Structure 1
Amino acid sequence: MTQSAATPLPTPKERRRIREAKSLTQAQLAAKVGVTRETVRSWESGRTAPRGRKREAYARLLTDLTVRPPARNEERDQDRKRARQPEPVAAGAVPVESAAAPEPSPAAGTELPAAGPEQPAGWTPAEAFDLLYTHAAPFLVRQTYLLTGRRTLAREAVERAFQQAWERWPEVAVDPDPAGWVRAAAYEYAMSPWHRLRPAHRQPEAPPADADDRKLLGVLLSLPPVHRRALLLYDGVGLDLPETAAETEASTPAAANRILNARDAVAEQLPELAVPEQLHRRLTELAGAEKLDAPKSALVRSVGEKRTRFWVRTAIAVTTLIVGATALTVRVAPTHYEPVPAPGAPVSGVPPLTGPDRLTAQDLELRRLLRAELSGGPERLAPVAE
Protein backbone atom coordinates (compact mmCIF):
# COMPACT_ATOMS: atom_id res chain seq x y z
CA MET A 1 0.00 0.00 0.00
CA THR A 2 1.37 3.42 -0.96
CA GLN A 3 1.74 5.75 1.99
CA SER A 4 1.85 9.50 2.04
CA ALA A 5 4.83 11.64 2.93
CA ALA A 6 3.38 12.15 6.40
CA THR A 7 3.51 8.44 7.21
CA PRO A 8 3.82 8.12 11.01
CA LEU A 9 6.90 6.42 12.37
CA PRO A 10 7.65 4.89 15.79
CA THR A 11 9.96 6.65 18.18
CA PRO A 12 13.72 6.23 17.60
CA LYS A 13 13.97 3.88 20.55
CA GLU A 14 11.08 1.77 19.24
CA ARG A 15 12.68 1.62 15.78
CA ARG A 16 15.86 0.19 17.24
CA ARG A 17 13.90 -2.28 19.37
CA ILE A 18 11.95 -3.56 16.35
CA ARG A 19 15.16 -4.08 14.39
CA GLU A 20 16.94 -5.87 17.20
CA ALA A 21 13.91 -8.05 17.90
CA LYS A 22 14.37 -9.51 14.41
CA SER A 23 18.14 -9.89 14.93
CA LEU A 24 18.92 -7.47 12.10
CA THR A 25 22.03 -5.33 12.05
CA GLN A 26 21.96 -1.70 11.01
CA ALA A 27 23.80 -2.62 7.82
CA GLN A 28 21.25 -5.30 6.93
CA LEU A 29 18.31 -2.97 7.52
CA ALA A 30 20.06 -0.23 5.53
CA ALA A 31 20.42 -2.61 2.59
CA LYS A 32 16.69 -3.37 2.68
CA VAL A 33 15.76 0.33 2.68
CA GLY A 34 18.47 1.36 0.24
CA VAL A 35 20.47 3.72 2.46
CA THR A 36 23.79 3.63 4.30
CA ARG A 37 24.32 2.21 7.78
CA GLU A 38 25.17 5.68 9.09
CA THR A 39 21.75 6.90 7.95
CA VAL A 40 19.98 4.12 9.84
CA ARG A 41 22.02 4.90 12.92
CA SER A 42 21.02 8.57 12.68
CA TRP A 43 17.34 7.58 12.33
CA GLU A 44 17.50 5.33 15.39
CA SER A 45 19.33 7.91 17.49
CA GLY A 46 16.82 10.65 16.57
CA ARG A 47 19.40 12.99 15.04
CA THR A 48 17.68 12.91 11.64
CA ALA A 49 14.29 11.75 10.31
CA PRO A 50 13.61 9.95 7.01
CA ARG A 51 11.74 11.83 4.28
CA GLY A 52 10.03 11.11 1.01
CA ARG A 53 10.26 7.64 -0.47
CA LYS A 54 12.87 6.55 2.05
CA ARG A 55 10.41 7.35 4.82
CA GLU A 56 7.69 5.28 3.13
CA ALA A 57 10.04 2.32 2.60
CA TYR A 58 11.33 2.58 6.16
CA ALA A 59 7.79 2.72 7.58
CA ARG A 60 6.66 -0.29 5.52
CA LEU A 61 9.68 -2.29 6.66
CA LEU A 62 9.09 -1.46 10.32
CA THR A 63 5.45 -2.44 9.92
CA ASP A 64 6.47 -5.79 8.48
CA LEU A 65 8.99 -6.32 11.29
CA THR A 66 6.59 -5.42 14.08
CA VAL A 67 6.90 -8.02 16.81
CA ARG A 68 3.68 -9.57 18.10
CA PRO A 69 3.16 -9.19 21.87
CA PRO A 70 4.43 -11.98 24.14
CA ALA A 71 2.11 -14.82 25.05
CA ARG A 72 0.39 -14.93 28.39
CA ASN A 73 2.09 -16.65 31.29
CA GLU A 74 -0.42 -19.53 31.36
CA GLU A 75 -0.02 -20.29 27.67
CA ARG A 76 3.73 -20.07 27.91
CA ASP A 77 3.81 -22.43 30.90
CA GLN A 78 1.68 -24.95 29.02
CA ASP A 79 3.98 -24.79 26.02
CA ARG A 80 6.96 -25.44 28.24
CA LYS A 81 5.33 -28.44 29.88
CA ARG A 82 4.45 -29.94 26.53
CA ALA A 83 7.90 -29.35 25.11
CA ARG A 84 9.69 -30.28 28.41
CA GLN A 85 12.40 -27.77 27.77
CA PRO A 86 14.43 -26.68 30.83
CA GLU A 87 15.80 -23.52 29.19
CA PRO A 88 12.88 -21.46 27.86
CA VAL A 89 15.05 -18.78 26.28
CA ALA A 90 17.45 -21.14 24.59
CA ALA A 91 14.65 -23.51 23.58
CA GLY A 92 12.76 -20.83 21.71
CA ALA A 93 10.16 -19.71 24.24
CA VAL A 94 10.86 -16.07 23.43
CA PRO A 95 7.84 -14.63 21.58
CA VAL A 96 9.99 -13.26 18.77
CA GLU A 97 11.42 -15.36 15.99
CA SER A 98 14.71 -15.99 17.78
CA ALA A 99 16.15 -14.75 21.07
CA ALA A 100 19.77 -15.35 20.21
CA ALA A 101 21.53 -13.06 17.82
CA PRO A 102 23.10 -14.82 14.84
CA GLU A 103 26.80 -15.58 15.03
CA PRO A 104 28.54 -12.58 13.45
CA SER A 105 31.03 -13.00 10.69
CA PRO A 106 33.49 -10.40 9.37
CA ALA A 107 32.28 -10.87 5.81
CA ALA A 108 28.72 -10.05 6.77
CA GLY A 109 29.63 -6.81 8.52
CA THR A 110 29.52 -7.67 12.24
CA GLU A 111 27.67 -5.06 14.25
CA LEU A 112 28.44 -4.20 17.86
CA PRO A 113 24.96 -3.45 19.24
CA ALA A 114 24.59 -0.56 21.63
CA ALA A 115 21.48 -1.66 23.50
CA GLY A 116 19.79 -4.87 24.49
CA PRO A 117 16.20 -6.02 24.09
CA GLU A 118 13.49 -4.70 26.34
CA GLN A 119 12.15 -7.01 29.03
CA PRO A 120 8.83 -8.54 27.91
CA ALA A 121 5.90 -8.06 30.25
CA GLY A 122 5.04 -11.01 32.49
CA TRP A 123 8.44 -12.70 32.30
CA THR A 124 10.29 -13.97 35.36
CA PRO A 125 13.55 -12.23 36.33
CA ALA A 126 15.61 -15.26 35.29
CA GLU A 127 13.99 -15.37 31.84
CA ALA A 128 14.50 -11.66 31.27
CA PHE A 129 18.12 -11.93 32.43
CA ASP A 130 18.74 -14.87 30.10
CA LEU A 131 17.27 -12.91 27.18
CA LEU A 132 19.55 -9.95 27.89
CA TYR A 133 22.56 -12.22 28.32
CA THR A 134 21.87 -14.14 25.10
CA HIS A 135 21.50 -10.91 23.17
CA ALA A 136 24.42 -8.89 24.56
CA ALA A 137 27.07 -11.24 25.99
CA PRO A 138 28.68 -12.55 22.74
CA PHE A 139 29.08 -9.04 21.30
CA LEU A 140 30.21 -7.59 24.64
CA VAL A 141 33.01 -10.16 24.97
CA ARG A 142 34.36 -9.12 21.57
CA GLN A 143 34.08 -5.43 22.42
CA THR A 144 35.98 -5.94 25.67
CA TYR A 145 38.66 -7.83 23.79
CA LEU A 146 39.23 -4.78 21.59
CA LEU A 147 39.47 -2.70 24.76
CA THR A 148 42.03 -4.90 26.56
CA GLY A 149 43.65 -7.17 23.96
CA ARG A 150 43.22 -10.12 26.36
CA ARG A 151 40.74 -12.90 25.70
CA THR A 152 40.65 -14.29 29.25
CA LEU A 153 40.18 -10.85 30.79
CA ALA A 154 37.40 -10.05 28.30
CA ARG A 155 35.43 -13.17 29.29
CA GLU A 156 36.04 -12.54 32.98
CA ALA A 157 34.97 -8.90 32.77
CA VAL A 158 31.72 -9.73 30.98
CA GLU A 159 30.97 -12.55 33.40
CA ARG A 160 31.55 -10.30 36.43
CA ALA A 161 29.44 -7.54 34.89
CA PHE A 162 26.48 -9.86 34.34
CA GLN A 163 26.88 -11.25 37.86
CA GLN A 164 26.61 -7.71 39.20
CA ALA A 165 23.58 -7.16 36.97
CA TRP A 166 21.92 -10.27 38.40
CA GLU A 167 22.67 -9.17 41.98
CA ARG A 168 21.05 -5.78 41.23
CA TRP A 169 18.48 -7.02 38.76
CA PRO A 170 15.55 -4.92 40.09
CA GLU A 171 17.60 -1.83 39.28
CA VAL A 172 18.96 -3.11 35.97
CA ALA A 173 15.59 -4.40 34.74
CA VAL A 174 14.03 -0.92 34.81
CA ASP A 175 17.11 0.81 33.38
CA PRO A 176 16.43 2.46 29.98
CA ASP A 177 19.46 0.64 28.53
CA PRO A 178 20.25 -2.61 30.43
CA ALA A 179 22.91 -3.61 27.90
CA GLY A 180 24.60 -0.23 28.41
CA TRP A 181 24.55 -0.79 32.18
CA VAL A 182 26.30 -4.14 31.77
CA ARG A 183 28.71 -2.74 29.19
CA ALA A 184 29.79 0.07 31.52
CA ALA A 185 30.37 -2.42 34.36
CA ALA A 186 32.38 -4.72 32.09
CA TYR A 187 34.53 -1.87 30.79
CA GLU A 188 35.21 -0.57 34.29
CA TYR A 189 36.31 -4.02 35.46
CA ALA A 190 38.43 -4.67 32.36
CA MET A 191 40.23 -1.31 32.59
CA SER A 192 41.06 -1.59 36.30
CA PRO A 193 44.80 -0.91 36.84
CA TRP A 194 44.94 -3.63 39.52
CA HIS A 195 45.04 -6.30 36.80
CA ARG A 196 48.67 -5.37 36.17
CA LEU A 197 49.61 -6.98 39.50
CA ARG A 198 48.23 -10.38 38.51
CA PRO A 199 50.91 -12.89 37.45
CA ALA A 200 48.83 -14.05 34.49
CA HIS A 201 48.81 -10.51 33.03
CA ARG A 202 52.56 -10.00 33.05
CA GLN A 203 52.90 -11.94 29.81
CA PRO A 204 51.10 -10.79 26.62
CA GLU A 205 48.56 -13.09 24.99
CA ALA A 206 48.83 -14.47 21.51
CA PRO A 207 48.03 -11.77 18.92
CA PRO A 208 45.48 -12.25 16.10
CA ALA A 209 46.51 -14.49 13.23
CA ASP A 210 46.01 -11.88 10.50
CA ALA A 211 48.79 -9.33 10.09
CA ASP A 212 46.38 -6.41 9.52
CA ASP A 213 44.41 -7.37 12.61
CA ARG A 214 47.58 -7.51 14.67
CA LYS A 215 48.59 -4.06 13.50
CA LEU A 216 45.19 -2.54 14.21
CA LEU A 217 45.00 -4.13 17.66
CA GLY A 218 48.48 -2.88 18.45
CA VAL A 219 47.49 0.65 17.48
CA LEU A 220 44.38 0.45 19.65
CA LEU A 221 46.31 -0.80 22.67
CA SER A 222 48.85 2.01 22.24
CA LEU A 223 46.12 4.62 22.79
CA PRO A 224 45.43 5.96 26.29
CA PRO A 225 42.67 3.91 27.96
CA VAL A 226 40.16 6.78 28.02
CA HIS A 227 40.75 7.55 24.32
CA ARG A 228 40.51 3.88 23.42
CA ARG A 229 37.21 3.50 25.26
CA ALA A 230 35.67 6.62 23.70
CA LEU A 231 36.75 5.53 20.21
CA LEU A 232 35.34 2.04 20.68
CA LEU A 233 32.00 3.33 21.96
CA TYR A 234 31.55 5.91 19.22
CA ASP A 235 33.11 4.32 16.13
CA GLY A 236 32.84 0.68 17.19
CA VAL A 237 29.57 0.30 19.07
CA GLY A 238 27.94 3.26 17.33
CA LEU A 239 26.78 5.31 20.32
CA ASP A 240 25.93 8.95 19.89
CA LEU A 241 28.32 11.57 21.24
CA PRO A 242 26.20 12.49 24.33
CA GLU A 243 25.75 8.78 25.13
CA THR A 244 29.49 8.23 24.79
CA ALA A 245 30.20 11.16 27.10
CA ALA A 246 27.69 9.91 29.66
CA GLU A 247 29.08 6.36 29.69
CA THR A 248 32.67 7.57 30.02
CA GLU A 249 31.65 10.09 32.71
CA ALA A 250 33.01 13.04 30.74
CA SER A 251 31.59 16.18 29.24
CA THR A 252 30.52 16.16 25.61
CA PRO A 253 33.44 18.39 24.45
CA ALA A 254 35.90 16.19 26.35
CA ALA A 255 34.50 13.04 24.77
CA ALA A 256 34.66 14.65 21.32
CA ASN A 257 38.30 15.62 21.84
CA ARG A 258 39.16 12.10 22.95
CA ILE A 259 37.54 10.62 19.84
CA LEU A 260 39.29 13.07 17.51
CA ASN A 261 42.67 12.49 19.15
CA ALA A 262 42.19 8.73 18.94
CA ARG A 263 41.22 8.96 15.28
CA ASP A 264 44.29 11.06 14.53
CA ALA A 265 46.54 8.55 16.31
CA VAL A 266 45.03 5.65 14.36
CA ALA A 267 45.19 7.50 11.04
CA GLU A 268 48.83 8.41 11.66
CA GLN A 269 49.83 4.74 11.72
CA LEU A 270 47.05 3.38 9.49
CA PRO A 271 46.23 6.07 6.87
CA GLU A 272 43.62 3.87 5.19
CA LEU A 273 41.47 4.15 8.35
CA ALA A 274 41.28 7.94 8.32
CA VAL A 275 37.66 7.69 7.15
CA PRO A 276 35.32 6.92 10.11
CA GLU A 277 33.28 4.45 8.04
CA GLN A 278 36.40 2.44 7.24
CA LEU A 279 37.47 2.52 10.87
CA HIS A 280 34.07 1.24 11.96
CA ARG A 281 34.22 -1.56 9.41
CA ARG A 282 37.69 -2.65 10.51
CA LEU A 283 36.74 -2.57 14.20
CA THR A 284 33.74 -4.80 13.58
CA GLU A 285 35.82 -7.16 11.44
CA LEU A 286 38.52 -7.36 14.10
CA ALA A 287 35.94 -8.11 16.77
CA GLY A 288 34.22 -10.74 14.65
CA ALA A 289 37.49 -12.48 13.77
CA GLU A 290 37.95 -13.64 17.36
CA LYS A 291 35.84 -16.66 18.35
CA LEU A 292 35.16 -15.65 21.92
CA ASP A 293 32.25 -17.49 23.49
CA ALA A 294 30.64 -16.50 26.78
CA PRO A 295 29.58 -19.09 29.39
CA LYS A 296 25.96 -20.12 29.76
CA SER A 297 23.64 -17.65 31.45
CA ALA A 298 22.55 -20.22 34.04
CA LEU A 299 26.19 -20.75 35.04
CA VAL A 300 26.74 -17.00 35.36
CA ARG A 301 23.71 -16.66 37.60
CA SER A 302 24.68 -19.62 39.80
CA VAL A 303 28.29 -18.45 40.22
CA GLY A 304 27.09 -14.95 41.04
CA GLU A 305 24.66 -16.28 43.64
CA LYS A 306 27.40 -18.42 45.22
CA ARG A 307 29.71 -15.42 45.42
CA THR A 308 26.97 -13.33 46.98
CA ARG A 309 26.25 -16.01 49.59
CA PHE A 310 29.97 -16.30 50.36
CA TRP A 311 30.36 -12.57 50.99
CA VAL A 312 27.16 -12.43 53.03
CA ARG A 313 28.37 -15.26 55.23
CA THR A 314 31.77 -13.64 55.53
CA ALA A 315 30.18 -10.36 56.59
CA ILE A 316 28.05 -12.20 59.16
CA ALA A 317 31.12 -14.03 60.53
CA VAL A 318 33.16 -10.83 60.82
CA THR A 319 30.26 -9.05 62.49
CA THR A 320 29.84 -11.92 64.95
CA LEU A 321 33.57 -11.84 65.74
CA ILE A 322 33.47 -8.11 66.39
CA VAL A 323 30.42 -8.45 68.64
CA GLY A 324 32.05 -11.31 70.56
CA ALA A 325 35.30 -9.38 71.06
CA THR A 326 33.36 -6.36 72.26
CA ALA A 327 31.34 -8.45 74.72
CA LEU A 328 34.51 -10.09 76.09
CA THR A 329 36.16 -6.71 76.53
CA VAL A 330 33.15 -5.38 78.41
CA ARG A 331 33.11 -8.52 80.58
CA VAL A 332 36.75 -8.43 81.71
CA ALA A 333 37.24 -4.66 81.84
CA PRO A 334 37.33 -3.10 85.35
CA THR A 335 34.20 -1.27 86.37
CA HIS A 336 35.67 0.93 89.14
CA TYR A 337 38.78 3.11 89.11
CA GLU A 338 40.30 4.77 92.25
CA PRO A 339 41.28 8.38 91.73
CA VAL A 340 44.96 9.28 91.79
CA PRO A 341 45.86 11.06 95.10
CA ALA A 342 47.00 14.64 94.93
CA PRO A 343 50.71 15.41 95.43
CA GLY A 344 51.61 15.63 99.16
CA ALA A 345 48.46 13.90 100.34
CA PRO A 346 48.92 10.95 102.73
CA VAL A 347 48.30 7.56 101.25
CA SER A 348 46.44 5.10 103.41
CA GLY A 349 47.46 1.46 103.65
CA VAL A 350 51.19 2.07 103.14
CA PRO A 351 53.52 1.11 106.10
CA PRO A 352 55.65 3.95 107.57
CA LEU A 353 59.19 4.36 106.37
CA THR A 354 61.66 2.90 108.97
CA GLY A 355 65.45 2.58 109.23
CA PRO A 356 67.71 -0.28 110.47
CA ASP A 357 67.36 -1.53 114.11
CA ARG A 358 69.94 -0.77 116.90
CA LEU A 359 72.98 -3.08 117.08
CA THR A 360 73.02 -5.68 119.79
CA ALA A 361 76.08 -6.52 121.94
CA GLN A 362 76.81 -9.52 119.75
CA ASP A 363 76.73 -7.32 116.66
CA LEU A 364 79.12 -4.81 118.28
CA GLU A 365 81.60 -7.57 119.21
CA LEU A 366 81.53 -8.93 115.70
CA ARG A 367 82.18 -5.49 114.27
CA ARG A 368 85.17 -5.00 116.61
CA LEU A 369 86.71 -8.30 115.54
CA LEU A 370 86.30 -7.49 111.87
CA ARG A 371 87.96 -4.12 112.24
CA ALA A 372 90.89 -5.67 114.12
CA GLU A 373 91.73 -7.99 111.24
CA LEU A 374 93.95 -6.85 108.38
CA SER A 375 91.87 -5.09 105.86
CA GLY A 376 94.36 -5.62 102.98
CA GLY A 377 94.22 -9.38 102.97
CA PRO A 378 97.03 -11.73 103.95
CA GLU A 379 100.50 -10.42 104.94
CA ARG A 380 102.90 -9.43 102.18
CA LEU A 381 105.42 -12.06 101.25
CA ALA A 382 109.06 -11.03 101.50
CA PRO A 383 111.93 -12.61 99.57
CA VAL A 384 114.16 -14.85 101.74
CA ALA A 385 117.54 -16.28 100.71
CA GLU A 386 117.94 -20.03 101.06
Structure 2
Amino acid sequence: MPEGDTGLAEEDGFEEFYRGTRQRVMTFLYAMTGDRVEAQDAAQEAYVRAWQRWSTIRGYDDPEAWVRTVGYRLCVSRWRKARNAITAHRRHGTDAPAEPPSENTVALVRALRQLPAADREAIVLHHLLDLTVADVSAHTGVPANTIKTRLVRGRKALAGLLGTDLTGDYTNA
Protein backbone atom coordinates (compact mmCIF):
# COMPACT_ATOMS: atom_id res chain seq x y z
CA MET A 1 0.00 0.00 0.00
CA PRO A 2 1.39 3.47 -0.84
CA GLU A 3 3.14 5.17 2.04
CA GLY A 4 0.96 7.67 3.81
CA ASP A 5 -2.24 6.23 2.33
CA THR A 6 -4.65 5.86 5.20
CA GLY A 7 -7.44 4.54 3.02
CA LEU A 8 -10.22 2.12 3.74
CA ALA A 9 -8.02 -0.96 3.26
CA GLU A 10 -5.81 0.03 6.20
CA GLU A 11 -8.83 0.70 8.40
CA ASP A 12 -10.22 -2.71 7.57
CA GLY A 13 -7.07 -4.58 8.55
CA PHE A 14 -5.23 -4.95 5.25
CA GLU A 15 -2.03 -3.44 6.61
CA GLU A 16 -2.02 -5.89 9.52
CA PHE A 17 -2.85 -8.77 7.18
CA TYR A 18 -0.02 -7.83 4.84
CA ARG A 19 2.56 -7.52 7.60
CA GLY A 20 1.47 -10.79 9.16
CA THR A 21 1.51 -12.86 5.97
CA ARG A 22 4.05 -11.38 3.55
CA GLN A 23 7.00 -13.46 4.75
CA ARG A 24 5.07 -16.76 4.49
CA VAL A 25 3.75 -15.88 1.05
CA MET A 26 7.23 -14.91 -0.13
CA THR A 27 8.71 -18.11 1.31
CA PHE A 28 6.05 -20.19 -0.45
CA LEU A 29 6.51 -18.49 -3.83
CA TYR A 30 10.29 -18.57 -3.59
CA ALA A 31 10.23 -22.27 -2.76
CA MET A 32 7.84 -22.94 -5.64
CA THR A 33 9.70 -20.89 -8.25
CA GLY A 34 13.30 -21.11 -7.13
CA ASP A 35 13.66 -17.49 -8.21
CA ARG A 36 13.60 -14.81 -5.54
CA VAL A 37 12.96 -11.90 -7.93
CA GLU A 38 10.11 -13.73 -9.63
CA ALA A 39 8.66 -14.62 -6.23
CA GLN A 40 8.86 -11.00 -5.09
CA ASP A 41 7.19 -9.73 -8.26
CA ALA A 42 4.39 -12.28 -8.01
CA ALA A 43 3.84 -11.62 -4.31
CA GLN A 44 3.69 -7.89 -4.89
CA GLU A 45 1.15 -8.30 -7.68
CA ALA A 46 -0.92 -10.74 -5.60
CA TYR A 47 -1.04 -8.31 -2.66
CA VAL A 48 -2.01 -5.45 -4.97
CA ARG A 49 -4.90 -7.54 -6.24
CA ALA A 50 -5.87 -8.48 -2.69
CA TRP A 51 -5.81 -4.84 -1.63
CA GLN A 52 -8.05 -3.89 -4.56
CA ARG A 53 -10.58 -6.58 -3.51
CA TRP A 54 -10.00 -6.39 0.23
CA SER A 55 -13.65 -5.74 1.10
CA THR A 56 -14.44 -9.21 -0.29
CA ILE A 57 -11.24 -11.10 0.52
CA ARG A 58 -11.13 -10.09 4.18
CA GLY A 59 -14.29 -12.16 4.70
CA TYR A 60 -12.69 -15.36 3.38
CA ASP A 61 -11.80 -18.11 5.84
CA ASP A 62 -8.15 -17.87 4.74
CA PRO A 63 -7.27 -14.66 2.83
CA GLU A 64 -3.60 -15.70 2.87
CA ALA A 65 -4.45 -18.80 0.84
CA TRP A 66 -6.11 -16.55 -1.73
CA VAL A 67 -2.93 -14.43 -2.00
CA ARG A 68 -0.72 -17.54 -2.25
CA THR A 69 -2.93 -18.99 -4.98
CA VAL A 70 -2.97 -15.76 -6.97
CA GLY A 71 0.81 -15.39 -6.61
CA TYR A 72 1.42 -18.94 -7.73
CA ARG A 73 -0.93 -18.57 -10.71
CA LEU A 74 0.94 -15.43 -11.75
CA CYS A 75 4.18 -17.44 -11.72
CA VAL A 76 2.62 -20.25 -13.76
CA SER A 77 1.31 -17.72 -16.26
CA ARG A 78 4.81 -16.26 -16.66
CA TRP A 79 6.25 -19.75 -17.12
CA ARG A 80 3.69 -20.48 -19.83
CA LYS A 81 4.53 -17.27 -21.64
CA ALA A 82 8.24 -18.09 -21.45
CA ARG A 83 7.63 -21.65 -22.66
CA ASN A 84 5.50 -20.40 -25.56
CA ALA A 85 8.20 -17.90 -26.50
CA ILE A 86 10.80 -20.68 -26.54
CA THR A 87 8.52 -22.89 -28.62
CA ALA A 88 7.94 -20.07 -31.11
CA HIS A 89 11.67 -19.40 -31.23
CA ARG A 90 12.42 -23.05 -31.95
CA ARG A 91 9.71 -23.20 -34.59
CA HIS A 92 10.73 -20.07 -36.44
CA GLY A 93 14.40 -19.89 -35.63
CA THR A 94 16.37 -16.72 -35.31
CA ASP A 95 16.58 -13.86 -37.73
CA ALA A 96 19.70 -13.52 -39.78
CA PRO A 97 22.22 -11.30 -38.03
CA ALA A 98 21.93 -7.67 -39.03
CA GLU A 99 24.71 -6.28 -41.14
CA PRO A 100 26.84 -3.66 -39.45
CA PRO A 101 26.08 -0.08 -40.46
CA SER A 102 28.03 1.30 -43.38
CA GLU A 103 30.65 3.99 -42.95
CA ASN A 104 28.22 6.47 -44.53
CA THR A 105 25.49 5.57 -42.02
CA VAL A 106 27.87 5.99 -39.09
CA ALA A 107 29.02 9.36 -40.44
CA LEU A 108 25.44 10.51 -41.00
CA VAL A 109 24.32 9.52 -37.50
CA ARG A 110 27.38 11.21 -36.00
CA ALA A 111 26.60 14.40 -37.95
CA LEU A 112 22.88 14.28 -37.07
CA ARG A 113 23.77 14.11 -33.37
CA GLN A 114 25.50 17.46 -33.72
CA LEU A 115 22.42 19.25 -35.05
CA PRO A 116 19.95 21.01 -32.78
CA ALA A 117 17.07 18.66 -31.91
CA ALA A 118 14.46 20.63 -33.89
CA ASP A 119 16.58 20.62 -37.07
CA ARG A 120 17.47 16.96 -36.60
CA GLU A 121 13.80 16.02 -36.19
CA ALA A 122 12.82 17.86 -39.37
CA ILE A 123 15.67 16.24 -41.35
CA VAL A 124 14.92 12.74 -40.09
CA LEU A 125 11.16 12.94 -40.61
CA HIS A 126 11.45 14.46 -44.07
CA HIS A 127 14.47 12.69 -45.53
CA LEU A 128 14.66 9.38 -43.70
CA LEU A 129 10.94 8.71 -43.23
CA ASP A 130 9.92 10.40 -46.51
CA LEU A 131 7.28 12.61 -44.92
CA THR A 132 6.23 15.72 -46.83
CA VAL A 133 6.85 19.13 -45.32
CA ALA A 134 3.11 19.33 -44.59
CA ASP A 135 3.24 15.95 -42.82
CA VAL A 136 6.28 17.00 -40.76
CA SER A 137 4.45 20.22 -39.88
CA ALA A 138 1.38 18.29 -38.75
CA HIS A 139 3.47 15.78 -36.80
CA THR A 140 5.47 18.41 -34.94
CA GLY A 141 2.79 21.09 -34.66
CA VAL A 142 5.19 23.60 -36.21
CA PRO A 143 4.25 25.81 -39.22
CA ALA A 144 5.37 24.52 -42.62
CA ASN A 145 7.58 27.56 -43.27
CA THR A 146 9.42 26.88 -40.01
CA ILE A 147 9.93 23.26 -41.11
CA LYS A 148 11.33 24.50 -44.44
CA THR A 149 13.72 26.78 -42.56
CA ARG A 150 14.82 23.92 -40.32
CA LEU A 151 15.38 21.68 -43.34
CA VAL A 152 17.52 24.29 -45.12
CA ARG A 153 19.48 25.09 -41.96
CA GLY A 154 19.90 21.40 -41.07
CA ARG A 155 21.01 20.40 -44.55
CA LYS A 156 23.53 23.25 -44.61
CA ALA A 157 24.95 22.15 -41.25
CA LEU A 158 25.06 18.51 -42.39
CA ALA A 159 26.84 19.52 -45.60
CA GLY A 160 29.55 21.18 -43.56
CA LEU A 161 29.84 18.22 -41.20
CA LEU A 162 29.89 15.65 -44.00
CA GLY A 163 31.89 17.69 -46.52
CA THR A 164 29.27 17.44 -49.28
CA ASP A 165 26.54 19.55 -50.92
CA LEU A 166 23.16 18.77 -49.39
CA THR A 167 21.33 22.02 -50.04
CA GLY A 168 17.86 21.93 -51.53
CA ASP A 169 14.97 24.17 -52.47
CA TYR A 170 11.87 23.83 -50.27
CA THR A 171 9.89 26.78 -51.55
CA ASN A 172 7.38 24.49 -53.33
CA ALA A 173 7.55 21.53 -50.94
Task: Please classify the TM superposition score into its range, dividing by the shorter chain length.
Answer: 0.3 to 0.5
TM-score, normalised via structure 1 length: 0.19
TM-score (norm 2): 0.41
Greater Cα radius of gyration, structure 1 or 2: 1
